[in-house]
Amino acid sequence: MRLTRFLSKNWLLTYAALYVAFLYAPVILLPLFAFNESTIIAFPLTGFTTKWFTVLFESTALHQAVKNSLIIGVVTAVLSTILGTCAARAMVRFGFPFKRGIVSFIMLPLVLPEIIVAVALLVLLMQLGFPLSIWTVIGGHVLICVPFSVAILSSAFQGLDKNLEEASLDLGETGWGTFRRVIFPLILPGVISSLLITFTISLDEFIIAFFLTGTDVTLPVYIWSQLRFPAKLPSVMALGTILLVLSVLLLVLGEWFRRRSAKQQGLDPASGGGFMQ
Amino acid sequence: MTQNPIIDIKNVHKSFGKVEALKGVNLRIEEGEFFSLLGPSGCGKTTLLRMIAGFEEPTSGAVIIGGEPMMGIPANKRPTNMVFQSYAIFPHLSVSDNVGYGLAKKKMSRSEIAEEVNNALAMVDLVGYGDRSAHELSGGQRQRVALARALVMKPRVVLLDEPLSALDKKLREQMQIELRELQQSVGITFILVTHDQEEALIMSDRIAVLFEGEIAQVATPQTLYQQPVNERVASFIGVMNFLQAQATESADGGLGLEIPALGDVAIAKAARPEDLPAASIDRIGVRPEMLTILFDESDHAECESEGVVVGASYYGDMTYYSVQLPETEELTTVSMRNTAGRSIVASGTKVRIGWGADSIVLFS
């Protein structure tokens, strides 16, 4: 009786609590089983161990996958942020023929099913006789990351006072110098946000990587291949734990940096250009 | 006028799509002048300023600065520097770095730049503020930084786009005087864009009044106030009463004016604008301070008429009376200085109004 009364009075709170539990419970299971001694993923827990982490460190195939993923992630982040910066600037600052159509085309991969992009790219590369390598994965990842970069950076460009650029030109600076000395420092928080987001997207992207990767597997593809062996499951959990900690660190770092630079410019840290608002 | 003005604008047109922002503007601005472009918003004054700065190109016509045609020369190659309405202080740089921004492109040593920056900061009364960042400054201080940043470049012309509009009244009045003094001490040509006629009168050597992309009048503040060329200029600058009138040619070359609301008066030939036929006059202007309420029996003026006070606005130093004059529907404004011992005239009081031939403004 008391429970029903509590639920009817605090239904919103109950809903929120259940929602959060549903969202994060699986994530909490990850580190829980990563330190569990048994190879079987089931309760009750059998004892504390770090041996699954040791297994990870001794696996050369994993090291290669991590290396591939890092290279792909970094190159994808840099390339898509450069392309995104150019596109966002053109979008915000200039008017040109077929602007809406061109912008829609750039943003399209955001809503296109990844499996379709992946298959289409694979067919295309096969037809062209292009060998699959980490570079084909990078190509695919840049395609899906650019829209995110454009979205983040166009909000950074929108916050930029047009008069600042004019003031710089008026003071004798060239167009490129203006970008280097005024525009870039002011959109830097957005650039860093874009780098982090696109890196993270590339790092955990599976479908495109699976189709285009050839023999150089990425980390998600490696994890997927390991899931076929039940004995390897705990070490996958350990790997998941490490990735979880790293992602959180990365996000916190990015947000800290953004807030710091927003504060330096006397802006409200809660506004504009960030992805954790 | 000298042969070589610092800025010569020749028959400039500017269209934005179908909108014609400037319709054939001709303007010569002399070296060392404090020149204002005055007009209501949307009259094209900012477009004209941006054209001088190099942010807009004329659709047709020429902008000549210091004898050189500026066609195709971008803003960073022009001998002009601008103070923006939003100040456009670089938010990620300190005050010193803002002021020294343009000097970095010149071939100067670090110590020379530091010295120039300090001199510029001293000029605008901001000594010791160099290390502050832009967001730590008040509106008035930002305005000074923007000014120092322009002056440090030693431009031939400083362009000011409504630089004081964001400041509160007291600070604005103080800056108007400071800016004027600064301009006189450095001797650089200043061009100010403003919609505030009082500001233009206080600061300028000469003023150009623009309406809808055309220059209505270019004159000194005094001439503009006392002899506006038409009713539109007259009502834009200060307060002006308009009264019906009829004129006849008189034998000495002057005019005989019949003003039903005030009475008759003779205008001497010298006071009559050239090429103004008597038949074309149907309205005349009178400034509020050119009409006087004659309080005492013993007060007399060149001409006198009668009216009834309908209302009064008390401004502290002045009182503005609304007076109903005979034979006119509109109320006439009369301003009186509030001297010691003078009380405000109550509504409904019949008063004698004193005026003279000098009070009348004729429009050609």
Render pLDDT for A47-80 as a digit per residue (tens, 0 to 9): 788 888 888 888 888 889 989 999 999 999 999 9
A271 contact B CB<8A: no
Contacts with B77 from chain A: Cβ below 8 Å: 172
What is the model's pTM?
A: 0.81
The stretch A172-193 carries a mean pLDDT of 90
Q: Please state, for a pLDDT cut of 70, what percent of chain A lies above it.
A: 93
CB < 8 Å from B in window 153-172 of A: 161, 163-164, 166-172
**From the CB of residue B131, how many other CB atoms can be counted at a distance below 10 Å?**
10
CB contact under 8 A, A266 and B133: yes
Query: Is the domain defined by A56-264 classed in CATH 1.10.3720.10?
Result: yes
One-letter amino acid at B127 equals: V
- pLDDT of amino acid A268: 57
Lowest mean pLDDT among A2-11, A163-172, B77-86, B187-196: A2-11
pLDDT number for residue B2: 55
Of B76, B92, B133, the CB nearest to A173: B76
A-B C-beta contacts closer than 8 Å = 71
pLDDT in tens, B27-41: 999 999 999 999 999
Q: Closest Cα to residue B266, out of B279, B250, B285, B281?
A: B250
**How would you list the strands of the sheet with B255-259, edge to edge?**
B246-249, B255-259, B263-267
Nearest-CA neighbor of A244 among A208, A203, A272? A203
Task: Look at residue B77 and tell me whether its pLDDT is greater than 60.
Answer: yes
Amino acid identity for residue B307 in this structure = G
Q: Does A174 contact chain B (CB < 8 Å)?
A: yes
Of the candidates B75, B89, B92, the one whose C-alpha atom is nearest the C-alpha of residue B124 is B89
pLDDT computed for residue A264 by the predictor: 63
Task: Say yes or no to pLDDT of A272 above 50.
Answer: no
Contact residues on chain A for B54, CB-CB shorter than 8 A: 169-170
For residue B156, the model assigns a pLDDT of 93
**Residues B101, B102, B105: CA angle, nearest 5 degrees:** 110
Residues of chain A neighbouring B153 (CB-CB closer than 8 A): 171-172
Find, in chain B, the residue whose alpha carbon is nearest to that of A183: B90
Number of CB atoms found within 10 A of residue A163's CB: 18
Backbone Cα Rg of chain B: 25
* C-alpha dihedral sign at B46, B52, B53, B59: positive
Predicted pLDDT of residue B4: 77
What is the CA angle B181-B182-B184, rounded to 5? Answer: 65
Give the chain A residue nearest B97 (alpha carbons): A181
Average of per-residue pLDDT values in chain A? 85
DSSP B75: G
Looking at every residue in chain B, the average pLDDT score rounds to 90
> Looking at chain A, which residue has its C-alpha nearest residue B136?
A266
Count the Cβ atoms, other than its own, within 10 Å of residue A253.
Answer: 12
What is the mean pLDDT of the segment spanning B216-242?
92
The residue written with tokens 């990587």 in the block is A209
Amino acid identity for residue A21 in this structure: A
CB-CB neighbors (< 8 A) of B55 in chain A: 166, 169-170
Weakest mean pLDDT among A163-167, B224-228, B329-333, B342-346: B342-346
Contact partners, residue B363, CB within 8 Å, separation at least 6: B228, B229, B230, B231, B234, B281, B283, B284, B285
Residues of B in contact with A186 (CB under 8 A): 91-92
Stretch B78-107: mean pLDDT:
91
Q: In what order do the strands lie in the sheet containing B19-29?
A: B19-29, B7-16, B60-65, B68-69
SS3 B211: strand
For residue A44, is the peptide bond before it cis, meaning its omega torsion is within 30 degrees of 0?
yes
With a cut of 70, say whether residue A145 has pLDDT above it: yes
Mutate to test the interface with B, among A171, A174, A187, A264 (most CBs of B within 10 A): A171
Nearest CA of chain B to the CA of A153: how many Å? 18
Question: How far away is chain B from the Cα of A264, in angstroms, using its nearest Cα?
Answer: 7
Give A161's contacts in chain B (Cβ within 8 Å): 86, 88
DSSP letters spanning B305-346? EEEEEEEEEE-SSEEEEEEE-TT-SS-EEEEEE--TTPPPPP
Strands B189-194 and B34-38: parallel
Lowest model confidence (mean pLDDT) among A185-189, B54-58, B127-131, B275-279: B275-279
B109-138: average pLDDT: 90
Lowest mean pLDDT among A26-30, A224-228, A267-271, B85-89: A267-271
In the predicted structure, residue A146 carries a pLDDT above the cut 60: yes
H/E stretch holding B272: none
How far lies B57's CA from each of A137, B13, B16, B160, B248, in Å? 47, 10, 11, 18, 49
CB contact (8 A) between residue B88 and residue A266: no
What was the pLDDT predicted at B292?
A: 92
- What does the pLDDT average to over A122-129? 90
Hey, are the CB atoms on B135 and A265 less than 8 Å from each other? yes
